[in-house]
Structure 1
Amino acid sequence: MNPWAVESLCTPACATDAAPRVSLGERVRRYASLTCALSRGVSVGGRLAEPGVLRTRARAVLRALGVRLEAGTEPLRVPGCAGGTGTLIVANHISWLDVISLLAVEPVALLAKREVGRWPVIGTLARRSGTRFIDRDRVRELPKVIESLASMLHAGRSVMVFPQATTWCSVSGGRFRRATFQAAVEAGAPVRPVTIDYYQNGTPSTVAGFLGDEDFGASLRRVVGAGGLAARVTAHRPLFGADRRTLAAEARAAVSVSELPAHA
């Protein structure tokens, strides 16, 4: 069985608006702003790898798309860990916007499927953040991926993973695969569960979903036209343990509960 081969039950039909679409004029303005934000990101060259610069550019992309970022004050990394290890940050997966939203809160290395590196908008941001890309068709790669993640965590570098392995239209969709949690066990690193969810004018929304066989352009057009869209990033209490099965179950339970109140 291929641990990377996960089929979501969600389709593009699940991604719907919970608020009126913005006007054509506003969509044109957003596309122009997005082009400007991406051009500025390219213009900084190698400095885009610097956490502060990457966070600024990711936030600029969200603003250009008309997406408001909501996040608590809790950092994604767990400070002061014994042995100076990094943090394995695990989040649910709904959209390509997840990556931009997380980088806008706290730039860390990501574990992502190989295709992400070729996507416009987020491919460059992901590569510059030190993303580790995986080929989900090569099951033999898994032990090396886990070893690499454990080494990064042991060296003090935090890593973000999406253990659902594919996108779903809701926070609770899909179980958490246990494999990547083994890296935290081997490195003696904490696990930080993070919830990512989306709202339109305070109402839960699936409009940001990137689902099934949908192409990136179609998803981008839907996001650009969304009214009152907000991305909410909620960090939960860190988890510690020596059993990946338990860590995966506890992380999924934590992620399924959003802690920030909705905004009107």
Structure 2
Amino acid sequence: MSEHAWLPRASCTDACLRAGAAPAGRRPMVATRVALRAGLALLLLPALPLLAVPLPGRSHLQRGYCRLMLRALGVRITISGGPIRNLRGVLVVAGHVSWVDIFTIGAVLPGSFVAKAEMVRWPALGVVARLMKVIPIERTSLRRLPAVVATVATRLRAGQTVVAFPEGTTWCGLGYGRFRPAMFQAAIDAERPVQPLRLAYHHRDGSASTVPAYIGEDTLWASLCRLVVARRTVVHVRVESLQLPGTDRRELAGRCETAVRAAGVAPVPAGHALAA
């Protein structure tokens, strides 16, 4: 029994990463690919804090920047589904696979993110997180959760877009966790709609990819290396139907979870190993 048995934990392991891997190719090609991608990403990084400056058309700049960063990392993005409505004060929710999700969603519906508090304390990235007004959440403290929900509701009432990952942790993309209902209370309190997004990562041949995954004891560096070494990763974003908040957060969470799951893919119960 863990110290915090209520914490969301994925059952993903290294077997998941192997199941969704793909050959990188010949060494000279890999070296060239890594050098180009690393160089482009390093050129883009210094401009990241500028996205926090309140300029006219900032959302367009954020979308453009995120698309450029994805391309620099070897990720191509496709979008389908419903229209992206120009509404103020929307809670955006999606399944959580990787730190790449932040750039993916930023390329479609940029907003402030609810992210684990450790991120705010990371060197360099922590400064950027504070500039981007990330809402930190202490996953090990239930007592602080109501304050986070209240902060999200306040921003929604102020007309800001907020992005949250209701699974509470990252999964490999081959399996999924349940949507926790707590964050949906913010949309109910603020009486603002919820926009579910379905994210799916693939190799260029269309098969499911776990290359961008950031799970378990994985490090940011290891995840980044897998991504820049891969030939190409395609992330497909499907914009699902906008959900009205209603009055029951569990019912709202259930509606949104159903919307973002591919047909025939069920959540994997915590504590059960995912088949390789």
Cα shift readout 1:69-109 (whole Å, capped 9, x = no counterpart): 11237455563xxxxx6111110001110011111222111
**Where do 5+ consecutive residues of structure 2 fail to align?**
264-276
Q: Distance in 1 between matches of 2:119 and 2:102?
A: 10
Is it true that 1:64 corresponds to 2:72 in the alignment? yes
1:246 paired residue number: 251
1:262 paired residue number: none
| Distance of aligned partners of 1:62 and 1:172 in 2 relative to their CA distance in 1, 3 Å threshold | same
Q: Distance in 2 between matches of 1:29 and 1:48?
A: 31
Of 197-206 and 5-14, deviating more is 5-14
| Distance of aligned partners of 1:152 and 1:171 in 2 relative to their CA distance in 1, 3 Å threshold | farther
Q: Distance in 1 between matches of 2:218 and 2:243?
A: 35
TM-score of the superposed pair, with normalisation by structure 2: 0.82
Is it true that 1:200 corresponds to 2:206 in the alignment? no
Identity of counterpart residues, as a percentage?
A: 37
2:53 paired residue number: 47
Q: Report deviation, 1:116.
A: 2.5
Residue among 15, 18, 23 paired with 2:17: 15
Residue among 108, 111, 114 paired with 2:117: 114
Q: Report deviation, 1:134.
A: 1.4
TM-score of the superposed pair, with normalisation by structure 1: 0.85
Contact 1:18 1:203 in 2 (8 A): no
1:261 paired residue number: none
Residue among 241, 245, 265 paired with 1:237: 241
* SS of structure 2 residue aligned to 1:208: coil
* SS of structure 1 residue aligned to 2:167: coil
Contact 2:51 2:62 in 1 (8 A): no
Is it true that 1:25 corresponds to 2:32 in the alignment? yes
- Paired residues in the alignment total 252
| Distance of aligned partners of 1:119 and 1:105 in 2 relative to their CA distance in 1, 3 Å threshold | farther
User: How big is the alpha-carbon RMSD for the aligned residues of Structure 1 and Structure 2?
Assistant: 2.6
**Where do 5+ consecutive residues of structure 1 fail to align?**
80-84, 259-264
Cα shift readout 1:240-259 (whole Å, capped 9, x = no counterpart): 2211111111111111027x
Cα shift readout 1:8-51 (whole Å, capped 9, x = no counterpart): 10124412454431522211221111111113435x47538832
1:217 paired residue number: 221
Of 133-142 and 243-252, deviating more is 133-142
